[in-house]
Structure 1
């Protein structure tokens, strides 16, 4: 059985994008196809958007230091694969104000250079969980991960868990299940008995 811990201190997710394309059915479909990437990042307080990259749609993630992440499929992506389900991901961090900030955070794209050994992440392909874990780790190392769901539930919440049947789908990619905002939970009062 899998256990998903509920965090009573989890903040509300970052806001959804607000621009003229959010009402466009095509953009909404792209957002839906990338939800397995954007939802865990938004629950960590990171604002995300879908933009058109060099040859495909990419996930743009704003960071607290005004730098940003670009999460993209391989440049030579197969047209046979649907948006949001590539054979691998490449994540770069860049800054519009500091050209020295340019790093590859994660790269699970299939290697195409003969004689070059494949990167360890390549075995993960297009899987979202290792992608999110790598982003979490790098942002934590840089001190750029906003307050979000804790990596491990606090001691007071460890005994409060939800047990799901085996092979049940997780609620979201991540370590905790979203819960109602604390202000809502605090307003729930038992009904008086007559």
Structure 2
């Protein structure tokens, strides 16, 4: 099933994700963005007056800003080196240089190589305990077909608590049984339970499913 070890951080929650320029830069810099999301960090593309950068949120509400010299070119093939800072809109005194392989920078010999870039970011984030932790948001889904082959699709509320989601799952199965449904398959135990039910030519699957991830941050 879905494991926290394989999770990919969610997309940023704002309207720019449909903007053509944002999408073009997101696609162009995917080789940088995806490894950051696997750390997992919530990554965004900053568009500010023609100056572009990649941002990655940290657990204390600070963030990493990844550019090349002053800005990122729209064509990643023109990147000659990476410049990574840790900044904070809430605490202006936070202004760390995490990595600098631009001309004249301490890591200039690495140029646009991704490997030392990711190593520097991973080491910095891990040593300071700034990585985001994600807890799964669960939902209970009921889906299947009626005897006339029309679809049954229902998603119950989202539950940040696993216990609440599993409790709702069991409530739904009790209701089905009371209505005359019969279980023909069950699996998943108490973490991700799933069962298949039949009644009068209809069949439904009831399951606890992954609805998303909730980022845990420092107090």
Q: Do both proteins adopt the same fold according to a TM-score greater than 0.5, normalized to the shorter chain?
A: yes
Structure 1 partner of 2:177: none
Query: 1:139 and 2:134 equivalent?
Result: no
Choose 1 or 2 for highest CA Rg.
2
CA distance in 1, matches of 2:120, 2:30: 17
Query: 1:60 and 2:46 equivalent?
Result: no
SS in 2 for 1:10: helix
Distance 1:26 1:52, change over 3 A: closer
Query: 1:109 and 2:102 equivalent?
Result: yes
CA distance in 1, matches of 2:96, 2:70: 17
Structure 1 partner of 2:88: 95
The Cα shift of 1:54 comes to 6.9
Q: Runs of 5+ in structure 1 lacking a partner?
A: 1-7, 112-117, 149-182, 188-194
Contact 1:69–1:93 (CA<8 Å) still a contact in 2?
yes
Structure 2 partner of 1:21: 16
Distance 1:53 1:109, change over 3 A: farther
The Cα shift of 1:53 comes to 4.9
Contact 2:54–2:67 (CA<8 Å) still a contact in 1?
yes
The Cα shift of 1:33 comes to 1.0
Contact 2:56–2:65 (CA<8 Å) still a contact in 1?
yes
CA distance in 1, matches of 2:68, 2:46: 12
Structure 1 partner of 2:116: 130
TM-score (norm 1): 0.61
CA distance in 1, matches of 2:5, 2:71: 38
Distance 1:139 1:85, change over 3 A: farther
Matches within 5 A, 1:172-191: none
Q: Runs of 5+ in structure 2 lacking a partner?
A: 135-187, 194-219
CA distance in 1, matches of 2:51, 2:102: 14
* Root mean square deviation of aligned Cα: 2.9
CA distance in 2, matches of 1:69, 1:143: 14
Matches within 5 A, 1:15-54: 15-53=10-48
The Cα shift of 1:19 comes to 2.2
Contact 2:68–2:82 (CA<8 Å) still a contact in 1?
yes
Contact 2:22–2:47 (CA<8 Å) still a contact in 1?
no
Matched pairs, number? 137
Pick 1 or 2: higher relative contact order, CA cutoff 8 A, min separation 6.
1
TM-score (norm 2): 0.54
